[in-house]
Amino acid sequence: MRKTQRRMARLHARIANIRANALHQLTSDLVQRFDVIAIEDLNVAGMLKNHPLARAIADMGFGEFRRQLAYKAAHRGKTVVIVSRWYPISKTCARCGYTVPKMRLSVREWTCPVCHTHHDRDVNAAINLRQVAESSVGGIQPVPA
């Protein structure tokens, strides 16, 4: 039994180290490649109450990701823009700025009733996130690849 416990403890430690290493590599890569990084402030505690997704969300380590990103960016003189969780980032039209009053999370694509632009919800949110970062920093210069 003790042998099995030690084996399981080693396995869990190995998995934790792999996850920590992947998180460090990702945050280091992002800070190295970009001068301004915009992230959305998420209600992780509320997301963990969704039992089908809770384990995957907990495994991702969103809090640790944000912490590492902030300290690595500060160390390199880069900027991290944190957009409020209450900003309607995915239901605001990136072209005209119209905000849909109510939209279910199950809606993945939508068309703006004002300018008739068809949006993928995630792509639209990414564009809006960039626009918020640009307005708060004063413009983002593209980074050469």
Averaged pLDDT, 43-56: 84
Q: Would you say 119 and 109 are in contact if contact means Cβ atoms under 8 Å apart? A: yes
Averaged pLDDT, 133-137: 83
pLDDT above 70 covers a percentage of the chain that reads 94
Q: How confident is the model at residue 108 (pLDDT cuts 50, 70, 90)?
A: very high
pLDDT higher than threshold 80 for residue 98: yes
114-126: b (≥16 Cβ within 10 Å) or e: eeeeebebeebbe
pLDDT above 90 covers a percentage of the chain that reads 61
Q: Would you say 130 and 96 are in contact if contact means Cβ atoms under 8 Å apart? A: no
pLDDT higher than threshold 80 for residue 141: no
Domain ranges of the chain: 1-85, 87-140
Both structure tokens of 50:
């969704």
Predicted local distance difference test score (pLDDT) of residue 140 = 52
Predicted local distance difference test score (pLDDT) of residue 100 = 92
For residue 116, give the amino acid letter: H
Cα gap 35→43, rounded to integer Å: 26
Q: What is the pTM of this model?
A: 0.76
Cα gap 36→136, rounded to integer Å: 10
